[in-house]
Structure 1
Amino acid sequence: MALITLLTDFGYRDHYVAALKARLLQLAPATPVVDISHGVEPFNIAHAVHVLQAVFRDFPPGTVHLVGVDDHGAGPEPGWHAARFEGHYFVAGDNGILALLCNGEPEELVALPAAITPSPSRDVLLPAAVALAQGEPLTSLGPVITEFHRLNNRQVRLQDHRITGHVAHVDHYGNLITNISRTAVDAVGHGRGFAVHFGREVVRELHPHFSAAPPGEAVVVFNSQGCLCVGICQGNASELLGLNFDSQIDVRFPTE
């Protein structure tokens, strides 16, 4: 029996998470389950993708990830899909999450049966996740498809002496997590020092962690996923700097 993870925007105040788990206990009481989070901002696809991308590879191959965020899908006609990508399985609404998560195209994608239900995560996605966790082949869940709702990730712009990226996520502490990777910085920088520009601020020193700077100072680090991040030591960078999701962040290298 493979592991099932749960990522939803259900929150923690209501009964929705308990109802999902109660259904799981009815379908497969021995299935191991891990809650990634139920605190994704309601209907926030970008938030869900960021959280899942940051952690899904840490789970064993064959893990099934249920994504119950905006779970009715995009458009007037609801749709739900199951996909395989990098040795993992994903079940989600047809709302662009799979395109963003898989950088455009899953390795294999099937359509799940349509249903009229107030809770697609419980009634459509969960049975599919259980079937996959029990070893059913992906193609047993529905027909293979190639057409699905597509969204594109924000692309980093690389130049000889500059990288232009954006804030991909603001975390619980107000830290600004960008889409600029350590790999991109190394490829453009070739060992050169660099300055990070955001809003009216410039930071020229890279720190190993957010607490390495004096309290109240802006700090730039690479997180454990290799993403460039901007924070305020013991402060909320998003609020104090006035930057949010999609705000521009520049990395500039000396020209001489």
Structure 2
Amino acid sequence: MPIITLTTDFGLKDHFAGAVKGAIYTELPDAKIVDITHLISPFNITETAYIIKNSYKSFPKGTIHIIGVDSELSNTNKHIALLLDEHYFICPDNGLISMIASAINPTKIVEINIHDRIESSFPVLDVFVKVACFIARGGTLDVIGREISDYKKMIEIQPKVNQAQTIISGGVIYIDNYGNVISNISKKVFNDIGKGRDFIVTARGYTFTKIFNKYNEITGDSDTNYGFDGSRLALFNSAELLEIAIYRSNLNTVGGASSLLGLDYRDTITVEFINKPLPEFTPLN
């Protein structure tokens, strides 16, 4: 029996997440259900895409992913099911797939058509669950709906490069549990445009002239980490995206990069490449 994952903005207070699990178990008593998260910020498609893209590959091939964010059916927000990288996704066609599929094209996409038989104000429960259980039993996408060749593109997730190839303009797409701020500027874009040049990263008036690959690299050869607690740094995170962080941040005490630096979702982050050497980097506390 394939695993079925759930990613929603339902939260944990209401009955919605539990009801969806109950409906799956009613149809598939032996189902294996994994909650990726139910704490997506309401209707936040970019955040949803970031979390799904960085979690789905950890699951076995054939896993079925139900994504219930901004899922109300409309003329501009269809429901789709697709096979991508040997994983199944059941979700609204609201642009999130364009981030998940940025490097890999879907093998097959269908527009779900069982709405003709089901009227629902809770499509994740009444539609997505039925589609997921059908696939889990060995059903094919052809039965679920008509095949389509494209999906909605989400332009805002792509950073922009100026004509002179000297500035990358990106933005904040996600703020994690530590208050770290993740941008849409990838390590690949940075390297392709930068070509080894010096640079200045700017975020809300703060500047960085070095990008780390791990948080504790900021400590250098120091025998203790504590002298660097609260230092701000830029790094490429595990998703290879440019991140602004506070070393050993704690949202319950000191705060994170988001609160301390005043950075929020969609705020601008830029990288400017320069041709003359910059002064040697000194960590700032």
TM-score, normalisation: structure 1: 0.89
Q: Is the 8 A contact 1:4 1:32 kept in 2?
A: yes
Match of 1:186 in 2: 191
Q: What is the Cα-based RMSD across aligned positions, in Å?
A: 2.3
Partner of 1:123: 126
Cα distance, 1:2–1:224 mapped onto 2, change above 3 Å? same
**Structure 1 counterpart of 2:148:** 145
2:269 aligned with 1:249, yes or no?
yes
User: Cα–Cα, structure 1 residues 95 and 15, in superposed 2: closer, same or farther, change >3 Å?
Assistant: same
> Mean Cα displacement is larger for which, 134-143 or 174-183?
134-143
Q: Does 1:167 align with 2:172?
A: yes
CA distance in 2, matches of 1:110, 1:147: 9
Mean Cα deviation higher: 166-175 or 32-41: 166-175
SS at match of 1:168: strand
Deviations 1:56-98 (A, max 9, x none): 12222221110011221355x8742111222211101233333
Q: Find the residue that maps to 2:274 and give its secondary structure.
A: coil
The answer to whether structure 1 residue 219 and structure 2 residue 239 are counterparts is: no
From 201, 208, 233, give the equivalent of 2:206. Answer: 201
C-alpha separation between the residues in 2 aligned to 1:96 and 1:204? 33
Aligned length: 255
Partner residue of 2:53?
53
Counterpart Cα distance in 2 of 1:17 and 1:5: 12
Given residue 93 of structure 1, which amino acid in structure 2 is its aligned partner? P
TM-aligned CA distance change 1:243 to 1:73, over 3 Å: farther
Which secondary structure state, in structure 1, belongs to the residue aligned with residue 235 of structure 2?
strand
Pick from 246, 250, 254: which aligns with 1:232? 246
CA separation of 1:247/1:123 partners in 2, compared to 1, >3 Å: closer, same or farther? same
The yes-or-no answer on 1:109 pairing with 2:109 is yes
Instruction: Indicate the larger mover: 77-86 or 107-116.
Output: 77-86
Contact 1:100 1:152 in 2 (8 A): no
AA of the residue aligned to 2:167: R
TM-score, L = length of structure 2: 0.81
Deviation at 1:147, TM superposition (A): 6.5
Q: Larger Cα Rg: Structure 1 or Structure 2?
A: 2
Compute the displacement of 1:100 (Å): 4.1
Of 64-73 and 144-153, deviating more is 144-153
- Residue 91 (structure 1) aligns with: 90
CA distance in 2, matches of 1:243, 1:225: 20
Aligned to 2:23: 23
In structure 1, the residue matched to 2:225 is none
Indicate yes or no: 2:78 matched with 1:73: no
Identity %: 31
Cα deviation, 1:115-166, whole Å, max 9, x if unaligned, reads 2123211110011112222221111211213476543343222353332211
2: CA distance, partners of 1:69 / 1:219: 32
Q: Distance in 2 between matches of 1:93 and 1:135?
A: 22
- Structure 1 residues 155 and 236: alpha-carbon distance in aligned structure 2, compared to 1, 3 A threshold: same
Q: Which runs of 5+ in 1 are unaligned?
A: none
